């Protein structure tokens, strides 16, 4: 680049000072972190963000040639977004300002001339105000313009290392010369020791400093720039004072970029005609008894211009890879770990929601919520798909069937391969395939038959049914949201009872041929009798659920439905569930409104009319699934109660009080009749 002489040029006869540029080096982790910050913190904000970076001394680099054929790098990585950094011995901090555009057009529209000019003016202000004396790190800063395309993982960026232009800087004599031309090796060694101690006290501001050398003893003293005036005042004919700085240059004869603003500082602060500069390139650790890389430069500042802010020009935009002024682009699609990318990308839409539409959306809560799908068929697969889109990452499936040939066209977690030979269990297959869509899913399938009232138990089945009951209950207890998506009325009974008993949130979806109902069961406050809570699936019924499956023709068994019904009911179930989840508070006994809109108790829909109807239904105090009598008996007698209900659904009507109510109603009817006869 323009500012950099050919590396390896070894003529010592230079008279005009040039500087080695900084070259930016961005670790992949920086882009990954930027993406995350953009998604989760910055969102649409374009306010400049303070970041940090580091540059190193060339000391540790291989020294086979006098000029190391590597650039002086400023590194940024994921740590650049933190306030501070643990620094290596040869690493120095450089502060930066990140300006991230929302669109590539915005990026192009950045007024680069003004941005760097503003940075230069601010720097000049800081020099003049003395801010740079107390905080020398202000002399060495960078700017970074970025546009991060989070969808394609392409990043456009442009670095600037703003430098005030002083015009030509001349050198006294034929300098630079190695520091060991002036200092004996042991004295230089003790200088490095002293610098090391100095740096340990204030690492952040240690890149610029003053060195006073006792001409007689060769003893070096390191002081801060704030102390420099004193040092200069104390300067005797017996001492020499050097302006020292940590020099990242890898060129033998040319200092690095940080000297530019340092010279401006020296020029503006001290109005000196000349200054001796120590370009410190070694550390106490790296410099043992070998040749030193540090050099001394005697600069003449008489021709320096740019005294005032108005005339000071600033330069420093980095060249692109073609060596021309321009932005750089990096495509990290193939660099990022696919699984990691998949994980972060899967949440992309969700994160974007928080930018504008739903700032309060608790995506963390969604990522942690455990969802249980009772039924892994048309509804189960579709609900899981929508939950996936909502960032739900923990889904457990329950089903007792195997994937059949007719399933894949309607059940979007299965394909033809899964159905061959009818060997694959639906629950397990759904869980496995969910992970194929989103590898970060936590998902498993359980082959459980939900016991159903009216499906009379044989003695031989009791052990299996007990196990199924236990497993079902333990799954319900260990999950946050229960989805009831089975294909018969009676299979919904036991989960309804269990959820009522354990105060679990249950979302229920059921399909007719061209109708659908989606509802959230009322959540009981288990501590008290509550008859005002919202109803359950069975609250409208005056008969107990019973065997409706056995004697049904194929079209009744298969719950023949219009294909559009399931995706609609499933999406509504998922949306209702997310709304409920965002509510956080249990119980949610009232029709309410949340961040996402209304949270109805039930939604009934018709495809014939293209109609949805949000409605509310209160709990029925003689309900065969959620009434106090039933729930208390379940909590008290557990499986004994369940088995009795399975064998005799009518008994459910007795204990729920339904029978008594019916008899009373009939008695009233008879009485009416009798009175009419009168």
Query: Among residue numbers 426 through 485, which ones bind a second copy (CB under 8 A)?
Result: 433, 436-439
Integer CA distances (angstroms), 529 to 104, 168, 220, 503, in order: 60, 89, 85, 13
Q: Rounded distance, CA 80 to CA 51, Å?
A: 5
Closest CA to 532 of 592, 588, 598: 588
Backbone angles phi, psi at 374, to 5 degrees: -90, 100
Query: Among residue numbers 381 through 420, which ones bind a second copy (CB under 8 A)?
Result: 382, 385-390, 404-406, 408-410, 412, 414-417, 419-420
Could you say which of 83, 554, 636, 675 contacts a second copy (CB under 8 A)?
554
Closer residue to a second copy (CB): 17 or 573? 573
Closer residue to a second copy (CB): 194 or 596? 596
Q: Is 600 in the site for a second copy (CB under 8 A)?
A: yes
The mark string for 121-150 relative to a second copy (x by CB under 8 A, - otherwise) is ----------------------------xx
Which listed option, a second copy, Zn ion, none, makes contact with residue 499 (CB within 5 to 8 Å by class)?
A: none
Concerning whether 25 is annotated as a catalytic residue, the answer is no
Q: Is 599 in the site for Zn ion (CB under 5 A)?
A: no
Closer residue to Zn ion (CB): 395 or 623? 623
Q: How many residues bind Zn ion (CB under 5 A)?
A: 6
Could you say which of 201, 289, 322, 356 contacts a second copy (CB under 8 A)?
356
Closest CA to 320 of 1, 675, 97: 1
Q: Cβ distance 371 to 481 under 8 Å? A: yes
Q: Rounded distance, CA 150 to CA 102, Å?
A: 10
Q: Rounded distance, CA 286 to CA 195, Å?
A: 13
Max alpha carbon distance in the chain (Å)? 137
Q: Rounded distance, CA 325 to CA 316, Å?
A: 10
Active-site entry in 438, 499, 558, 623: 558
Q: Is 534 in the site for Zn ion (CB under 5 A)?
A: no
Which listed option, Zn ion, a second copy, none, makes contact with residue 609 (CB within 5 to 8 Å by class)?
A: a second copy
Closer residue to a second copy (CB): 381 or 544? 381
Closer residue to a second copy (CB): 178 or 389? 389
Q: Single out the segment in contact with Zn ion by CB under 5 A; choices: 24-32, 368-376, 530-538, 581-589.
A: 530-538
Could you say which of 421, 459, 527, 675 contacts a second copy (CB under 8 A)?
421
What is the per-residue DSSP string for 104-146?
HHHHHH--HHHHHHHHHHHHHHHHHHTHHHH-GGGGSEEEEEE
The mark string for 624-643 relative to Zn ion (x by CB under 5 A, - otherwise) is -xx-----------------
Closer residue to a second copy (CB): 160 or 574? 574
Q: Rounded distance, CA 668 to CA 659, Å?
A: 14
How many other β-carbons are positioned within 10 Å of the β-carbon of residue 6?
Answer: 7
What is the per-residue DSSP string for 593-614?
EETTEEE-SEEEEETTTTEEEE
Q: CA angle, 63 as apex, 59 and 68 as ends, to 5°?
A: 85
Q: Would you state the torsion angle of the CA atoms of residues 5, 6, 7, 10, taken in this order, to the nearest 10 degrees?
A: -90
Q: Single out the segment in contact with a second copy by CB under 8 A; choices: 2-10, 170-178, 299-307, 607-615.
A: 607-615
Which listed option, a second copy, Zn ion, none, makes contact with residue 92 (CB within 5 to 8 Å by class)?
A: none
Q: Rounded distance, CA 62 to CA 72, Å?
A: 14
Closer residue to a second copy (CB): 318 or 575? 575
Query: Among residue numbers 8 through 67, which ones bind a second copy (CB under 8 A)?
Result: 38, 44
Closer residue to a second copy (CB): 147 or 287? 147
Q: Rounded distance, CA 117 to CA 121, Å?
A: 6
Could you say which of 131, 352, 591, 635 contacts a second copy (CB under 8 A)?
352
Q: How many residues bind a second copy (CB under 8 A)?
A: 93
Q: Rounded distance, CA 154 to CA 529, Å?
A: 59
Which listed option, a second copy, Zn ion, none, makes contact with residue 538 (CB within 5 to 8 Å by class)?
A: Zn ion
Could you say which of 553, 674, 676, 678 contacts a second copy (CB under 8 A)?
553
Closer residue to a second copy (CB): 83 or 551? 551
What is the per-residue DSSP string for 192-229?
HHHHHHHHHH-GGGTTEEEEEEETTT--EEEE-HHHHH
Q: Is 623 in the site for Zn ion (CB under 5 A)?
A: yes
Q: Is 608 in the site for a second copy (CB under 8 A)?
A: yes
Q: Single out the segment in contact with Zn ion by CB under 5 A; choices: 103-111, 321-329, 619-627, 650-658.
A: 619-627
Distance of CA 632 to the CA centre of its chain: 45
Which listed option, a second copy, Zn ion, none, makes contact with residue 570 (CB within 5 to 8 Å by class)?
A: a second copy
Q: Is 374 in the site for a second copy (CB under 8 A)?
A: no
Residue found by looking up tokens 């503003």 in the block:
118
Q: Is 536 in the site for Zn ion (CB under 5 A)?
A: yes
Q: Single out the segment in contact with a second copy by CB under 8 A; choices: 181-189, 269-277, 350-358, 465-473.
A: 350-358
C-alpha atoms less than 13 angstroms from C-alpha of 196 in its C-beta half-sphere = 15
Footprint of Zn ion (CB under 5 A)? 536, 538-539, 623, 625-626
**Catalytic residue numbers, as ranges:** 558
């Amino acid at each position: 680049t323009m500012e950099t002489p050919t590396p390896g040029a070894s003529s010592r006869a230079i008279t005009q000072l040039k500087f080695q540029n900084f070259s930016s080096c961005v670790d992949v982790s920086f882009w990954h972190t930027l993406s995350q910050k953009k998604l989760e913190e910055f969102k649409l904000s374009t306010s400049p963000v303070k970041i940090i970076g580091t540059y190193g001394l060339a000391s540790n680099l291989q020294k086979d040639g006098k000029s190391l054929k590597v650039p002086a790098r400023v590194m940024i990585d994921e740590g650049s977004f933190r306030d501070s950094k643990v620094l290596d011995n040869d690493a120095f901090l450089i502060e930066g300002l990140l300006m991230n555009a929302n669109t590539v057009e915005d990026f192009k529209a950045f007024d680069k001339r003004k941005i760097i000019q503003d940075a230069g003016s601010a720097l000049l202000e800081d020099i003049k105000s003395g801010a740079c004396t107390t905080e020398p790190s202000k002399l060495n800063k960078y700017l970074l313009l970025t546009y991060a395309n989070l969808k394609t993982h392409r990043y456009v960026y442009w670095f600037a290392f703003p430098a005030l232009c002083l015009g030509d800087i001349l050198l006294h004599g034929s300098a630079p010369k190695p520091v060991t031309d002036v200092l004996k090796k042991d004295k230089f060694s003790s200088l490095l020791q002293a610098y090391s101690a100095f740096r340990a006290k204030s690492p952040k501001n240690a890149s610029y400093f003053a060195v006073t050398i006792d001409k007689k003893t060769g003893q070096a003293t390191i002081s801060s720039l704030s102390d420099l005036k004193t040092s200069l005042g104390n300067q005797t004919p017996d001492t020499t004072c050097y302006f020292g700085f940590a020099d990242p240059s890898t060129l033998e004869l040319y200092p690095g970029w940080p000297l530019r603003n340092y010279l401006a500082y020296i020029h503006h602060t001290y109005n000196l005609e000349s200054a001796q500069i120590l370009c410190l390139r070694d550390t106490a650790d790296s410099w043992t008894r070998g040749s030193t890389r540090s050099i001394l430069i005697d600069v003449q500042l008489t021709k320096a211009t740019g005294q005032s802010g108005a005339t000071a020009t600033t330069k420093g935009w980095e060249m692109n890879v073609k060596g021309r002024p321009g932005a750089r682009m990096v495509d990290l699609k193939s660099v990022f770990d696919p699984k990691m990318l998949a994980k972060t990308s899967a949440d992309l839409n969700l994160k974007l929601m928080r930018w504008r539409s739903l700032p309060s959306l608790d995506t963390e809560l969604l990522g942690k919520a455990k969802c249980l799908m009772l039924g892994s068929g048309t509804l189960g697969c579709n609900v899981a798909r929508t939950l996936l889109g909502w960032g739900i990452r923990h889904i457990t499936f329950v089903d007792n069937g195997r994937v059949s040939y007719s399933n894949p066209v309607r059940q979007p977690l299965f394909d033809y391969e899964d159905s061959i030979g009818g060997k694959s269990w639906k629950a397990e297959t759904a869980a496995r395939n969910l992970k194929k869509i989103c590898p970060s899913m936590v998902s498993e399938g359980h082959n459980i038959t939900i016991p159903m009232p009216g499906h009379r138990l044989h003695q031989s089945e009791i052990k299996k049914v007990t196990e199924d009951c236990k497993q079902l209950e333990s799954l319900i207890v260990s999950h946050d949201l229960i989805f009831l998506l089975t294909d018969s009325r009676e299979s919904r009974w036991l989960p309804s009872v269990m959820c009522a008993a354990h105060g679990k949130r249950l979302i229920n979806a059921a399909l007719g041929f061209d109708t659908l109902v989606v509802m959230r069961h009322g959540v009981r406050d288990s501590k008290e009798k509550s008859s005002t809570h919202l109803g359950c699936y069975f609250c409208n019924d005056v008969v107990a659920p019973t065997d409706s499956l056995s004697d049904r023709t194929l079209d009744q068994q298969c719950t023949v439905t219009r294909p559009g019904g399931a995706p609609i009911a499933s999406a509504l179930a998922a949306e209702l569930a997310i709304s409920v989840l965002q509510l956080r508070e249990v119980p949610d006994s009232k029709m309410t409104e949340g961040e996402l809109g209304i949270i109805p108790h039930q939604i009934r829909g018709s495809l014939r009319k293209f109609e949805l109807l949000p409605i509310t239904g209160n709990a029925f105090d003689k309900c065969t699934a959620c009434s106090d009598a039933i729930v208390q008996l379940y909590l008290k007698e557990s499986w004994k109660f369940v088995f009795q209900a399975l064998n005799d659904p009518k008994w459910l009507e007795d204990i729920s009080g339904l029978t008594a109510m019916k008899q009373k109603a009939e008695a009233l009817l008879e009485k009416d009749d009798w009175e009419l006869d009168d």
